[in-house]
Amino acid sequence: MKQAITLFLTFLLSAGTVLPAMALEAETLPLLKDGRPPGNFEEMWAGFDPRAEPLEVEVVREWEEEGVVLRIVRFRIGLFKGSKASLAAIYGFPAKVSDSNRRLPGLLQIHGGGQYADHRACLTNAKRGYATVSIAWAGRISAPDYHVTPAEVKLFWEGKTDDPAYRLTTDWGAVDGYHAPGRNPRNVFPSARPAPWTLDTVESPRNSGWFLCALAARRALTFLERQPEVDPDRLGVYGHSMGGKLTVLTAVDSRVKAAAPSCGGISDRYNDSPLFRATLGDDVSLRHIACPIIFLSPANDFHGRIGDLPAAVDEIRSMEWRVTCSPHHNHQDTPAYEVATQLWFDTHLRQSFEFPHTPKTALTLQTADGVPVFTVTPDRSQPVAAVDVFYTQQGRAGEEPKDRENAMHRFWHHARAKQENGTWRAQLPIASTNQPLWVYANVLYPLEQPVSGAGYYYREYTAQSFNVSSLLDQVTAEELRGASVRATLQPSLLIEDFTGDWQQEWFTYDPDDWSRSTHKVHSPLWQAPAAAVLALRVRSAEANPLVVVIDDHAAAVPLAGGTDWEEVVLRPEDLKNLEGDGLPSWDGIHRLKLTSAERLRPRRGSRAKSQLIGGNWSGPAPEFQNLRWQTMP
């Protein structure tokens, strides 16, 4: 095809046609045959060679920080509709490698929607012996003295080179792979439909931003493998959210030797377009992944839904896989889970760590008392710090994006597991045989040495331990009834007694702070009766405001402090939103939080300013007793 284009251009020149210099080059992707779009994975990628075109690398800025060489670079993505596209990125590697013959494993980091290519990913990885390229597929860049926000991206689009804030960044040329916002106001990033800025004039997967950015990511692999510091046979890829899906789309490249998608890459299966599903659905790319892969899938994530994880693992070609699933979390994680990415690359790119095997589990439905039993046998090649079992009856088979609220707020019971001869056993009392049962186990291992990195949102963390999860077991209501399982859990007015391991059913994204949240109030077991108030007992050593949060409503309760327990009683109308409106009722609430301060934020499209409720906490963390619904006489 490229030869035919060249012959055509030669004919035009011989006829005296004046062409721009760029038109002499062949397009990156072949023209459609008979106007027919690619209908499957093979046709979508046919004719694309990520190594074929020159990179034309330009170094925009270079500096050294904490013994790490960092560069803002741009390199060629390809030629589309006669216009060159260039990808901006941050590239970093340890400075001392420049003067040695040692080659490092290389990592491709792919940001999520609304995020930036960020120098902290390159910096923290370089300190651990990796070279990293963080690609700015949406044009945004975060680095010292080189910050490209959507405002600077717009300056770039408008060519305002005289503006002091102007920065070189990603240039998609005649197509539009930008996101939030796109260069063309009517551009819908995932869409495969034709538009003036798309490659093909018919519905085609090559029109979608997913395809364009995956193509750019594969070009970034070419950039990585050609750096003198990098071992081209040890390349890995990871990304969060939209970057998680792009990780899966990129990991089909045979040069990828390890992959770690977080919160994405498993659930995009329900697009209205059959063509999209047949080419860009997550399951399509998963079936072509042969490298070792770990899925970081928080149990309440709305984007990479845990219910799709068993199918994703079944679809991949690789036999080397792991999952790590934090309970209650949605689209964020804590160090013991985030660190799995670093340890996975240490295992498969450096051979400096041995990742434990997935714990073996067995779910027994038919028991003498009708209560299901879950057994867990972890890999004990390393010391086991804890084994925890989590289960819910709020999962739904075939969850789709419309099930977002349920996915984000489902409550996971913690089942106490007892050990005997290296196997942990937990009973799973349920509330109904008309709802399915989902269950999985977490195994916590201590790290011999702390491991630091940049997390999902580039927050730098240090992990002292790491988690390996079992694959989710899913049982239908029909299977529960068929096994004569009994419903033994009864509704309760007591939400929490704060004894034992109560924190396993609460969660936080900041383990250093005492604030905690729970989805227990979203469970039918703890629904508030009519005319109930929310009550709890609190003891605070010093005078402080206690903030109680229900979804987007909050109340600050002044505590006198001292050695005595104080009773807190709240009605729905006591909790206010940003507009000052009280909570209408306890019906349909999702999340309850106890904290020292909460920032209420405006709803999308509102011009209201955020408001901080509460403030800094003085003294030790508070103690709590008997969080409950209390009916008034």
The residue extents of the domains of the chain are: 1-31, 49-243, 491-633
- Is pLDDT above 70 for 169? yes
pLDDT for the residue numbered 100: 55
491-633 to CATH, choices 2.60.120, 2.60.40, 3.30.70, 3.30.450: 2.60.120
pLDDT for the residue numbered 14: 36
- Is pLDDT above 80 for 106? yes
Mean pLDDT of the chain: 94
pLDDT tens digits along 564-580: 999 999 999 999 999 99
Q: What CATH number should be reported for the domain whose range is 49-243? A: 3.40.50.1820
How far apart, in whole angstroms, are the C-alpha atoms of residue 41 and residue 630?
A: 58
Cis omega (within 30 of 0) on the bond before 181? yes
**Once rounded to an integer, what is the mean pLDDT over residues 258-279?**
96
Both tokens of residue 265?
Answer: 């890459």
State the CB neighbour count (10 A cutoff) for residue 89.
28
**What is the pLDDT confidence band of residue 633, given thresholds at 50, 70 and 90?**
low
pLDDT for the residue numbered 13: 33
Buried/exposed 535-572: b ≥16 CB within 10 Å, e otherwise: bbbbebeeebbbbbbbbbbbbbbebebeeeebebebbb
Q: Which of 169, 123, 178, 122 is nearest to 148 (CA)?
A: 169
pLDDT for the residue numbered 97: 77
Both tokens of residue 388?
Answer: 């925890």
**What is the pLDDT confidence band of residue 90, given thresholds at 50, 70 and 90?**
very high
Fold agreement between 49-243 and 491-633: no
Pick 297 or 100 by higher pLDDT: 297
pLDDT for the residue numbered 292: 98
**Once rounded to an integer, what is the mean pLDDT over residues 357-371?**
98
Judged by average pLDDT, the poorest of 74-88, 299-313, 600-614 is: 600-614
Evaluate if pTM is beyond 0.75: yes
Both tokens of residue 77?
Answer: 């993505």
* Rounded (to 5) percent helix, strand, coil in the chain: 20, 30, 45
pLDDT for the residue numbered 607: 81
pLDDT for the residue numbered 15: 40
Pick 223 or 602 by higher pLDDT: 223
Question: For residue 264, what are the CA distances in angstroms to 135, 274, 283, 294, 591?
Answer: 17, 20, 12, 12, 23
Beta strand segments in 141-278, E: 141-143, 146-148, 230-240, 256-262
pLDDT for the residue numbered 7: 39
Q: What is the DSSP string of 442-505?
A: EEEEEEEEEEEEE-TTS-EEEEEEEEEEPPPEEE-HHHHHHTT--B-----SEEE---TTGGGG
pLDDT for the residue numbered 9: 40
Query: Would you give the distance in Å from CA 342 to the centre of its chain?
Result: 15
Residue that is written with structure tokens 């010093």 in the block: 542
How far apart, in whole angstroms, are the C-alpha atoms of residue 479 and residue 482?
A: 5
- Is pLDDT above 80 for 233? yes
Q: Are 281 and 294 in contact (CB under 8 A)?
A: no
**Once rounded to an integer, what is the mean pLDDT over residues 400-422?**
94
- Is pLDDT above 50 for 140? yes
